[in-house]
Amino acid sequence: MGRKILFLGPPGAGKGTQAAMLARAIGVPHISTGVMLREAVAAGTDLGRKADVIMAAGDLVPDDLVVAMVAERLSQEDAVCGYLLDGFPRNVVQAGALDAAIGKGALDVALLLEADEDALVERLLKRAEQEGRADDNEDTIRNRQSVYRRETEPLAAYYPEHDVDVVTVDGMGTIEEVFAGIARALAG
Ligand code: B4P
* Percent of the chain whose predicted confidence (pLDDT) is above 90: 95
Pairing of strands 165-170, 109-114: parallel
At residue 5, what are phi and psi to the nearest 5 degrees? -120, 140
Q: Is 68 in the pocket of ligand 1 (CB under 6 A)?
A: no
Residue 72 maps to a domain: no
Residue 52 maps to a domain: no
Q: Residue 103: its pLDDT value, please?
A: 85
Q: pTM for this one?
A: 0.94
Residue 145 maps to a domain: yes
Residue 135 maps to a domain: yes
Q: 50, 73, 133, 142: which one is catalytic? A: 133
Contact 22, 84 (CB under 8 A): yes
Residue 155 structural domain: 4-32+83-187
Whose C-alpha lies nearest to ligand 1, atom 2? 34
Please give the sequence-ordered ranges of beta strands (E in DSSP) within the chain, or none if there are none.
4-8, 30-32, 83-86, 109-114, 165-170
Say whether pLDDT at 1 is over 60: no
| CA distances to 13, 51, 54, 57, 86 from 43, in Å | 27, 12, 16, 19, 21
Question: What DSSP line would sit under 18-42, residue for residue?
Answer: HHHHHHHHHT--EEEHHHHHHHHHH
Query: What's the mean pLDDT in 105-115?
Result: 96
* Total domain count, the chain: 1
Residue 59 maps to a domain: no
Residue 121 maps to a domain: yes
Residue 64 maps to a domain: no
Q: Is 142 a catalytic residue?
A: no
12-28 pLDDT tens trace: 999 999 999 999 999 99
- Three-state DSSP at 176 gives helix
77-97 pLDDT tens trace: 999 999 999 999 999 999 999
Alpha-carbon span 8 to 85, nearest angstrom: 9
Tell how far the Cα of 13 is from the centroid of ligand 1, in angstroms: 7
Residue 78 maps to a domain: no
Say whether pLDDT at 2 is over 80: no
CATH number of residue 122's parent domain: 3.40.50.300
Query: What's the mean pLDDT in 36-63?
Result: 98
Whose C-alpha lies nearest to ligand 1, atom 17? 34
Mean of pLDDT over the chain? 96
Whose C-alpha lies nearest to ligand 1, atom 23? 55
Q: 4, 15, 38, 123: which one is catalytic? A: 15
